[in-house]
Structure 1
Amino acid sequence: MIVIVDYGIGNLGSIKNMLRKIGAPATISSDPDAIRSAAKLILPGVGAFDTGARQLRESGLVDLLQERALEDRVPVLGICLGAQLMTRSSEEGVESGLGWFEAETCRMTFNDIPGKWPLPNMGWREVQCREGYPLMQGYEASPRFYFVHSYYMKPDKPELASVTSTYGFDFACGLSRDNLHCVQFHPEKSHSFGMRFLRNFSELPA
């Protein structure tokens, strides 16, 4: 069972509906027992970094999520704000993230880049993936995903970047290491491309 972690913030229903369409058993829950028995976890989120970090901390789930992600090593997927919360911190606020990735969340800036680049970066963008990355397999056309963001994840080491895109400059829009995965885009809003992505996640060995 995939558990979509409910910490009071996020696009939970859309994620569950997309998983239902691909036939992947999933539930939305904040119950520690459900999270403890989950085969896979999805950490969703939309909105400001500090709000999400505080909500996550106040949910009382941080220690359990640390145990499941880092000790039990269950597959975890962070989406949008949930992805940013897997970094150490964000220029958007002062709260600490989970620190599962050696990365910071930075505001997109376009100094000395010709053209107009309004924020948020909103709309469909093509992405490129690291060779062999399991969550980006099986696409018959160049994968495109739906983005809505003004901040991006900047890893300390480029090899952490599993997926990249371009908006004024090339940036990491997905990080991965071992059982941990996160993406800035919204697979639950990305139609067939998102369905393929979430199917790949649901089929990872638990």
Structure 2
Amino acid sequence: MSHSTGSVADPLGAAEATTTTVPRVVVLDHGSGNVRSVVRALENAGAQVELTADRERALAADGLVVPGVGAFAATIAQVRGVGGDRIIEQRLAGGLPVLGICVGLQIMFDAGTEHGERSVGLAQWPGEVTALEASVVPHMGWNTVQSPAQSLLFDGITDERFYFVHSYAARQWEMEQIGSLNAPLVTWAEHDGDRFVAAVENAALTATQFHPEKSGEAGSKLLANWLRTLPRPQTDIADHAGAGAGAERDGAASPEEMPA
């Protein structure tokens, strides 16, 4: 199935453009500093992207992306401040896909503890985000991951490296399989001997500790893999030309990114 970024210079012919399916993705605008690169990466992977915290538009999108950089406490406060917690909960209750990135993964757990301060997360998964136990922190740079064989997210990219920037992580996985429901697929990584959760695929909820938007071609392929899992209505590309670029222009200037 072909994808289009929805740009004005789309090489597809007009007739084909009106029948090509393009996934519509909302990046939750809660004040995170890495939204520009996330929007651009999703567009390059084949999505029509909008940066907004509008509840109705976030609920209507094929996919919702929850980015995050910096501290757990600040990010969860920002997400709750724009009603993102309710949007995420409502989407997941309806089986609508959500992708968390970096601290966007961390806040899906019960809680996070940083500098002795414990903050309550969204409790989609049991467990707590804690400091990495490594001689070199933050974990910053390229690293490999160990993904399960059934992973759709890492299809075709199991041997690739991804870009991490963080000092905290979920270092245990505590969620067990419930009845006949499929168990979540957990991908792991290791830094200086400390093993942590690098990604989770749990029905409609997917998240990565690393930054796919900063992971080059491997990150683009991973985002394209996620986009392929989304429900896709037929969309007239011409009607939405340049929508993603406009969303990026509307975003505030990104502050200095800090390790999560």
TM > 0.5 between the two? Answer: yes
Aligned to 2:20: none
**2:118 aligned with 1:100:** no
Aligned to 2:53: 30
Q: Which has the higher contact order (CA 8 A, sep 6+)?
A: 2
CA RMSD of aligned residues (A): 1.6
Q: Deviations over 1:28-67 (max 9, x none)?
A: 1111121120111111010101111111112123222211
Partner Cα distance (2:34, 2:65) in 1:
11
Q: Given that residues 130 and 168 in structure 2 are in contact (C-alpha distance below 8 angstroms), is that contact kept between their aligned partners in structure 1?
A: yes
Partner Cα distance (2:130, 2:149) in 1:
25
Partner Cα distance (1:132, 1:64) in 2:
29
Q: CA deviation at 1:161?
A: 5.2
Question: How many percent of aligned residue pairs carry the same amino acid?
Answer: 32
Partner Cα distance (2:46, 2:80) in 1:
32
User: Which of residues 31, 52, 62 in structure 2 aligns to 1:8?
Assistant: 31
Q: Deviations over 1:134-153 (max 9, x none)?
A: 000023x7111000111111
Q: 1:157 to 1:68 in 2, by over 3 A?
A: closer
Deviates more, 1:52-61 or 1:41-50: 52-61
Look up the equivalent residue of 1:138 and give its one-letter code.
G
Q: SS in structure 2 opposite 1:91? A: strand
Look up the equivalent residue of 1:142 and give its one-letter code.
D
Q: Deviations over 1:137-187 (max 9, x none)?
A: 023x71110001111113214864521111123222112211111111000
Aligned to 1:204: 229
Q: 1:109 to 1:185 in 2, by over 3 A?
A: same
Aligned to 1:42: 65
> What TM-score results when the alignment is normalised by the length of structure 2?
0.72
Partner Cα distance (2:184, 2:138) in 1:
24
Partner Cα distance (1:86, 1:95) in 2:
12
Q: Which runs of 5+ in 2 are unaligned?
A: 1-23, 177-182, 232-260
Q: Given that residues 5 and 44 in structure 1 are in contact (C-alpha distance below 8 angstroms), is that contact kept between their aligned partners in structure 2?
A: yes
Aligned to 2:167: 150
Q: 1:60 to 1:169 in 2, by over 3 A?
A: closer
Deviates more, 1:150-159 or 1:48-57: 150-159
**2:100 aligned with 1:82:** no
Q: 1:103 to 1:175 in 2, by over 3 A?
A: farther
Q: 1:205 to 1:9 in 2, by over 3 A?
A: closer
Q: Given that residues 155 and 161 in structure 1 are in contact (C-alpha distance below 8 angstroms), is that contact kept between their aligned partners in structure 2?
A: no
**2:88 aligned with 1:65:** yes
Q: SS in structure 2 opposite 1:134? A: coil
**2:183 aligned with 1:183:** no
Aligned to 2:194: 169
Aligned to 1:132: 150
Q: SS in structure 2 opposite 1:138? A: coil
Q: CA deviation at 1:79?
A: 0.3
Aligned to 2:218: 193
Partner Cα distance (2:145, 2:153) in 1:
13
